[in-house]
């Protein structure tokens, strides 16, 4: 929309509100190319507090301000506090200035502000200057390009200077303004960690040390998400903030009510696994081989052909036994006779093959093949995972009051990085009793998930009297909105080596915090902690049949916030969440960084996680997550994505 079209379609009574809305960071850019005089008049007069509809287009008022040195000093001060990333979100006590573009080096299935235009860089510093900042920091279209006066007027030859001179600006004022604006760096990171309220988190750097990160909200991402959610109320979650002007112009322009993308797949009645009791060791070939072996005395064939066929039949039965042995624990303790009895018991429990159980000829063959297998170690390769790795099951952990805000623009599932933080904290705790313990990867099953908007309301307090004659006043309560979740999850942790840790120690070493909430294991579920030689048996050992496993949706191309919202609308089985952190700067040593680790300001990487049940055909590499250090930052991805 052009400014002329806006003015023609706006009633006189709504002039101030309409123009403020048109120039706010959360609205599509308005084109002022054909009417720069009216645009500049509006921007100059909007810096006045309490401007009326009658005075908004008053060029006399505009001229007075353009010739006032104090007015120029006040508005020029705000030009240096344009932010690409707002350090005051969500804590308005934080201070600093960040003006930088995130590098565009992400895969197609991830998105940050690096894939968005560099607009929405609005003011954030002092609430008393929230009106004065409109002149230099409001963005618009000029000759088809996104622009703001803080950048445009740094060029002394820019056509907008001619318009300002027509409105009454002095040449000397122009020179001083150009000099001041040209000294403002296009990119700047000026944030002191000392005495600041910025949060810091630490993650491994892949080289036996750690990095400290401060996640910062991208104003461009918040701006475009707000616009993309305009017509999608079901996918919109509101986040309200008191004292929005203290947070900045972007929050103030929507009354402190920011829109976030909400995703919440339905998992209440879903079963997390459909693994058949007829395990993969019992195949059609194995059933046919047992049938033929029992009828071998009736074969009509030459001795040579009979011998060849018997070799094939025994080979199929041997392969079945090898597969079955991989599902059995304590094979070294049990004798071949006991193992054959257990195999007969498993066969008898399956209806379609129960007639083959406890057949004397087959039982003797089972014992013979099991003895041969143990002696010759013929099944070494198939049982290798059981000998070299193990899967630790920690079932039905309860989480209460965890943060459901995975980023500054997404609500729903907890951040996947908070999940890794819990896993890594558990690994560090285990190192106290077992220094060689390492975690290769892990899988998570969510049994239930409750999302709710909760907030902390500070109690009303009495204001102190300035004068004795004044009446006591009560300050209104401050509200801090928050989205939280309660959940029940099960974890399967893969370790590269078989290690024995007692159940009591595992419970004692579990971290007590998860995503800023509390996490614990009920007493009744402590006995269900166990280790397994292969993942399918661990999955089947989870007593709660309901839930879903988390996997990553890599077959997506996230190029804009419209694509983000479109996927949330059309694919209800996906969760949008934080998958990692992208560097806004190289990690460097800074004063007061967390534990003196190299520190970097980072932006949340967003991606989609899908819910998936497990069957025998499931690729387990899609379910097991591992931490990865990339050139663009750190992230959590399944093993199937390299």
Q: Give yes or no: residues 488 and 563 share one domain.
A: yes
Preceding amide of 90 cis, omega within 30: yes
Which of 292-301, 319-328, 329-338 is most confident?
292-301
* Residue 298 DSSP symbol: G
d(CA 378, CA 357) in angstroms, rounded, equals 24
Q: Is 91 helix (H, G, I), strand (E, B) or coil?
A: coil
Q: Give yes or no: residues 290 and 141 share one domain.
A: no
Query: Has residue 95 got a pLDDT over 90?
Result: yes
pLDDT over 70 for what percent of the chain? Answer: 93
Entry field: residues in the chain: 642
Q: Give yes or no: residues 296 and 263 share one domain.
A: no
d(CA 106, CA 637) in angstroms, rounded, equals 14
Q: Looking at residue 242, what is its pLDDT? A: 82
Q: Give yes or no: residues 125 and 251 share one domain.
A: no
d(CA 63, CA 584) in angstroms, rounded, equals 42
Q: Looking at residue 98, what is its pLDDT? A: 96
DSSP assignment of 303-339 equals HHHHHHHHHHHHHHHHHHHHHHHTT-S-TTTS-HHHH
Q: Give yes or no: residues 267 and 413 share one domain.
A: yes
Count Cβ atoms below 10 Å from residue 87 Cβ, excluding itself. Answer: 23
Q: Give yes or no: residues 7 and 146 share one domain.
A: yes
Give 255-307 pLDDT, tens digit per residue: 999 999 999 888 888 888 887 655 567 888 888 999 998 888 888 888 888 88
Average of per-residue pLDDT across 441-465? 80
Q: Looking at residue 511, what is its pLDDT? A: 96
Residue indicated by tokens 């899967």: 391
Picking from 237-241, 336-340, 345-349, 381-385, which range would have the lowest pLDDT averaged per residue?
381-385
Q: Looking at residue 385, what is its pLDDT? A: 38
Taking each helix axis from N to C end, the angle separating 171-182 and 159-167, rounded to the nearest 10 degrees, works out to 140
Count Cβ atoms below 10 Å from residue 577 Cβ, excluding itself. Answer: 27
Q: What would you report as the CA-atom Rg of the chain, rounded to the nearest whole angstrom?
A: 33
Q: Is there a contact between 540 and 568 (Cβ–Cβ < 8 Å)?
A: no
d(CA 420, CA 627) in angstroms, rounded, equals 7
Q: Looking at residue 570, what is its pLDDT? A: 93
For 67, list phi and psi in degrees, rounded to 5.
Answer: -105, 10
Task: Please state, in angstroms and as integers, the Cα–Cα distance from residue 38 to each residue in 35, 45, 60, 327, following that order.
Answer: 6, 11, 13, 79
Residue at 203 is within a domain:
no
Which of 7-16, 131-140, 300-309, 359-368 is most confident?
131-140
Residue at 471 is within a domain:
no
Q: Looking at residue 478, what is its pLDDT? A: 60
Residue at 115 is within a domain:
no
Q: Give yes or no: residues 170 and 25 share one domain.
A: yes
Q: Looking at residue 129, what is its pLDDT? A: 93
Q: Looking at residue 330, what is its pLDDT? A: 59
Kindly indicate the confidence band of residue 500, based on its pLDDT and cuts at 50, 70 and 90: confident
Task: Please state, in angstroms and as integers, the Cα–Cα distance from residue 61 to each residue in 22, 425, 528, following that order.
Answer: 21, 62, 76
SS3 content of the chain, % helix, strand, coil (to 5): 35, 25, 40
Average pLDDT, the chain: 89
d(CA 554, CA 563) in angstroms, rounded, equals 14
Measured at the alpha carbon of residue 508, what is the angle toward residues 503 and 512, in degrees to the nearest 5? 130
Q: Is 535 helix (H, G, I), strand (E, B) or coil?
A: helix
Average of per-residue pLDDT across 348-364? 88
* Residue 237 DSSP symbol: E
Q: Is 606 helix (H, G, I), strand (E, B) or coil?
A: strand
d(CA 124, CA 94) in angstroms, rounded, equals 11
Q: Residue 600: which of 119, 203, 104 has the closest Cα? A: 203
Q: Give yes or no: residues 361 and 504 share one domain.
A: no
Q: Give yes or no: residues 21 and 154 share one domain.
A: yes
Average of per-residue pLDDT across 579-596? 95
Pairing of strands 257-262, 410-411: parallel
Residue at 114 is within a domain:
no
Give 178-220 pLDDT, tens digit per residue: 999 999 999 999 999 998 999 999 999 999 899 999 999 999 9
Last residue of a domain, one of 378, 396, 418: 378
* Residue 27 DSSP symbol: S
- Written as six digits, the tokens of 365 are 């063959």
Residue indicated by tokens 């250090």: 629
Average of per-residue pLDDT across 98-121? 94
C-alpha torsion sign, points 203, 205, 208, 211? negative
Give 360-418 pLDDT, tens digit per residue: 988 999 898 888 877 665 444 443 333 457 899 999 999 999 999 999 999 999 999 99
d(CA 185, CA 181) in angstroms, rounded, equals 9
Q: Looking at residue 402, what is its pLDDT? A: 95
Q: Looking at residue 379, what is its pLDDT? A: 40
Picking from 102-106, 161-165, 332-336, 357-361, which range would have the lowest pLDDT averaged per residue?
332-336
Average of per-residue pLDDT across 221-250? 93
d(CA 274, CA 616) in angstroms, rounded, equals 8
d(CA 493, CA 625) in angstroms, rounded, equals 10
pLDDT over 90 for what percent of the chain? Answer: 65
Query: Has residue 444 got a pLDDT over 70?
Result: yes
Residue at 523 is within a domain:
yes
Q: Is there a contact between 113 and 220 (Cβ–Cβ < 8 Å)?
A: yes
Q: Looking at residue 250, what is its pLDDT? A: 95
**Buried (b) or exposed (e) across 520-532, using 16+ Cβ within 10 A?**
ebeeebeebbbbb
Residue at 409 is within a domain:
yes
Q: Is there a contact between 404 and 485 (Cβ–Cβ < 8 Å)?
A: yes
Q: Is 534 helix (H, G, I), strand (E, B) or coil?
A: coil
Task: Tell me which residue range forms the domain holding 21.
Answer: 3-107+120-195
Q: Give yes or no: residues 151 and 19 share one domain.
A: yes
Count Cβ atoms below 10 Å from residue 69 Cβ, excluding itself. Answer: 11
- How far does Cα 376 stand from its chain's mean position? 50
Q: Is there a contact between 258 and 122 (Cβ–Cβ < 8 Å)?
A: no
* Residue 123 DSSP symbol: B
Residue at 509 is within a domain:
yes
Pairing of strands 85-86, 236-240: unpaired
Structurally, the chain folds into a number of domains equal to: 3
Average of per-residue pLDDT across 122-129? 93
* Residue 581 DSSP symbol: E
Instruction: Indicate the pTM of the whole model.
Output: 0.82
Q: Is there a contact between 602 and 633 (Cβ–Cβ < 8 Å)?
A: yes
Q: Give yes or no: residues 499 and 629 share one domain.
A: yes
d(CA 98, CA 93) in angstroms, rounded, equals 15
d(CA 508, CA 518) in angstroms, rounded, equals 15
Average of per-residue pLDDT across 220-227? 96
Backbone conformation region of residue 288, classed left if phi is above 0, alpha if psi is from -120 to 50, else beta: alpha
d(CA 525, CA 126) in angstroms, rounded, equals 52
Picking from 56-65, 101-110, 305-314, 436-445, which range would have the lowest pLDDT averaged per residue?
305-314
Query: Has residue 449 got a pLDDT over 70?
Result: yes
d(CA 230, CA 227) in angstroms, rounded, equals 5
d(CA 426, CA 411) in angstroms, rounded, equals 26
Q: Give yes or no: residues 262 and 356 share one domain.
A: no
Q: Is 75 helix (H, G, I), strand (E, B) or coil?
A: helix
Q: Looking at residue 467, what is its pLDDT? A: 61
Count Cβ atoms below 10 Å from residue 437 Cβ, excluding itself. Answer: 19
d(CA 387, CA 265) in angstroms, rounded, equals 38
Residue at 30 is within a domain:
yes
């Amino acid at each position: 929309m052009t400014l002329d079209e806006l003015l023609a379609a706006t009633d006189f009574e709504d002039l101030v509100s309409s123009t403020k809305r048109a120039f706010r960071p959360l609205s599509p850019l308005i084109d002022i190319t054909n009417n720069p005089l009216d645009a500049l008049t509006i921007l100059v007069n909007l810096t006045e507090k309490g401007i009326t509809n009658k005075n908004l287009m008053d060029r006399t008022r505009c001229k007075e301000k353009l010739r006032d040195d104090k007015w120029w000093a006040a508005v020029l001060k705000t030009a240096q506090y344009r932010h690409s990333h707002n350090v005051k979100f969500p804590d308005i006590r934080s201070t600093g200035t960040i003006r930088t573009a995130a590098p565009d080096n992400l895969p197609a299935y991830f998105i940050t502000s690096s894939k968005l235009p560099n607009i929405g860089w609005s003011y954030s510093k002092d609430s008393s200057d929230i009106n004065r900042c409109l002149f230099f920091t409001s963005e618009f279209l000029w000759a088809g390009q996104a622009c703001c006066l803080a950048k445009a007027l740094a060029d002394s030859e820019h056509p907008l200077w001619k318009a300002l001179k027509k409105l009454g600006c002095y040449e000397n004022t122009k020179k001083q303004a150009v000099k001041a604006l040209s000294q403002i760096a296009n990119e700047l990171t000026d944030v002191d960690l000392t005495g600041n309220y910025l949060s810091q988190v630490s993650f491994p750097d892949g080289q036996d040390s750690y990095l400290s990160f401060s996640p910062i909200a991208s104003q461009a991402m918040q701006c475009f998400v707000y616009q993309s959610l305009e017509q999608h109320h079901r996918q919109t979650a509101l986040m309200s903030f008191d004292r929005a002007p203290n947070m900045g112009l972007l929050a103030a322009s929507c009354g402190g009510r920011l829109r976030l993308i909400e995703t919440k797949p339905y998992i209440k009645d879903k079963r997390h696994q459909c693994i058949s009791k007829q395990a993969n060791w019992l195949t059609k070939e194995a059933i046919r081989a047992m049938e033929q072996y029992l009828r071998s005395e009736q074969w009509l064939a030459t001795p040579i052909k009979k011998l060849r066929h018997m070799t094939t039949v025994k080979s199929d039965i041997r392969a079945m036994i090898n597969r079955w042995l991989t599902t059995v624990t304590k094979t070294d303790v049990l004798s071949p006779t006991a193992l054959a009895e257990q195999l007969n018991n498993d066969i008898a429990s399956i209806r379609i093959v129960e007639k083959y159980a406890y057949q004397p000829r087959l039982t003797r063959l089972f014992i013979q093949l099991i003895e041969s297998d143990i002696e010759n170690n013929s099944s070494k390769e198939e049982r290798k995972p059981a000998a070299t790795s193990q899967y630790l099951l920690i079932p039905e952990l309860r989480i209460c009051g965890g943060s459901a805000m995975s980023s500054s623009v997404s609500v729903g599932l907890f951040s996947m990085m908070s999940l890794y933080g819990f896993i890594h904290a558990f690994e560090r705790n285990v190192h106290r009793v077992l220094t060689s313990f390492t975690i290769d990867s892990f899988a998570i099953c969510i049994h239930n998930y409750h999302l709710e908007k909760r907030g902390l309301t500070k109690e009303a307090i009495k204001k102190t009297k300035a004068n004795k004659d004044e009446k006591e006043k009560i300050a209104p309560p401050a509200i801090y909105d928050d989205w939280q979740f309660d959940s029940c999850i099960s974890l399967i942790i893969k370790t590269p080596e078989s290690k024995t840790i007692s159940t009591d120690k595992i419970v004692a070493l579990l971290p007590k915090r998860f995503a800023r909430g509390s996490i614990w294991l009920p007493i009744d579920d402590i006995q269900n902690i166990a280790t397994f030689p292969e993942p399918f048996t661990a999955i089947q050992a989870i007593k709660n049949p309901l839930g879903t496993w988390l996997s990553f949706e890599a077959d997506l191309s996230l190029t804009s916030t419209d694509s983000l919202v479109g996927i949330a609308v059309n694919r209800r089985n996906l969760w949008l969440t934080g998958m990692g952190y992208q560097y806004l700067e190289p990690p460097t040593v800074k004063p007061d960084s967390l534990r003196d680790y190299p520190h970097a300001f980072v932006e949340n990487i967003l991606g989609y996680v899908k819910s998936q049940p497990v069957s025998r055909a499931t690729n387990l590499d899609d379910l097991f997550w591992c931490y990865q250090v990339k050139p663009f930052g750190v992230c959590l991805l399944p093993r199937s994505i390299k």
